[in-house]
Amino acid sequence: MGIKITGTGSYAPERILTNAELEKMVETSNDWIISRTGIRERRIAAPNEACSDMACKAATNALAMAGVAPKEIDLIIVASVTPDKHFPSTAAILQSKLDASNATCFDLQAACTGFLYSLECANALMANESNYRKALIIGVEKLSVLTDWQDRNTCVLFGDGAGAVVLEKRTGKKDIGGILASKLGTDGKYCDILQVEAGGSSMPATHETIDKRQHFIRMEGQEVFKLAVNAMSKACRDVLESASIRPEDVRWLIPHQANLRIIKAVGTKLGMREENVFVNLDKYGNTSAASVVIALDEIVRSSKVERGDYLLLTAFGSGLTWGATLLRW
């Protein structure tokens, strides 16, 4: 039977933080940021705007497109590294804000690959005769709270935002769209190269951890860069092969929006034409778990996808985690 996406939605906070503003905060330049990353601006959530608030707006848009009422949803998965609280889950908080009281709710953490992990999870939970028939899958981040605004190596990279999809069971043979193949991976030996060290059970918050700025993102950028290119291109090749689809048959490669050079390198490795590789990181920067789903929503809403098109989603993040998912629209 399989499942398909019947609605997409996204939300970007109003406040735009430009490269020119960053030039006043740390020793950097608009030219450096654009040439090394491709990012021109990013969105920053308001102080009183939590992930559940952004998720609620993205989810409302996705539900409207699908024509599904919140009470019809029986599963909500929220992917995020910046949940509202340690607990309860952001998914539970979102359920209450949406009034989706019939949904089973949980959060999933796979860093920037979280949306793809959540899709795979929902795909498995909704398989065959399961009672889960309509699901909301969300990627949402408020990375501005984990960003060290004194660290030029990282503060130019990240942004806030949310994206959502509604998944439904395919109804009949005429329904061609759906998730065709997926490949996920993790390699925990790299868990130190991209992390937030303090605030969890291994290093609870103390005055000292705050003084040492250990509650912010730390990253070995070049190491992450190399691993990202290789892992995403291999995962993409694996899913294409398992579905017997050639790279040139893919209408859109929708990669995690972390760095334009990474995106281009993955496209080149796959032998894809530049016009089939979707880029919007110039506007949003790296929004981690939200990035791929915000991009998907932008493609859908600008009518850049037609029924029957193949979409190849790929992501990479802390863990290290990576994945690729092939969709037919």
Site track for ligand COA across 26-65, x = CB under 6 A: --x---xx--xx----------------------------
CA nearest neighbour of 9 among 166, 240, 237: 166
Kindly provide the residue ranges of all beta strands, DSSP E only, lying in the chain, ordered along the sequence. Answer: 3-11, 15-18, 41-44, 75-79, 104-108, 134-142, 160-169, 178-186, 194-196, 217-219, 250-255, 310-317, 321-328
Does 291 help bind ligand COA (rule: CB under 6 A)? Answer: no
Which residue lies nearer to ligand COA by CB, 76 or 155? 155
Contacts of 133 (CB under 8 A, 6+ apart): 74, 126, 168, 169
Which residue lies nearer to ligand COA by CB, 226 or 273? 226
For the purposes of burial, counting CB atoms within 10 Å of the CB of 55, is it exposed (0-12), middle (13-18) or buried (19 or more)? buried
Q: Tell the smallest beta-carbon distance from residue 234 to ligand COA (Å).
A: 16
Stretch of 100-108, 180-188, 239-247, 256-264 contacting ligand COA, by CB under 6 A = 256-264
Q: In what order do the strands lie in the sheet with 178-186?
A: 178-186, 321-328, 310-317, 250-255
Residues 98-127 that bind ligand COA (CB under 6 A): 112
Site track for ligand COA across 207-246, x = CB under 6 A: ------------x-xx-xx--x------------------
Residues 184 and 18: their CA atoms lie apart, in Å, by 34
Which residue lies nearer to ligand COA by CB, 105 or 258? 258
Per CB under 6 A, residues contacting ligand COA are: 28, 32-33, 36-37, 112, 152-153, 156, 219, 221-222, 224-225, 228, 258-259, 262, 286, 316-317
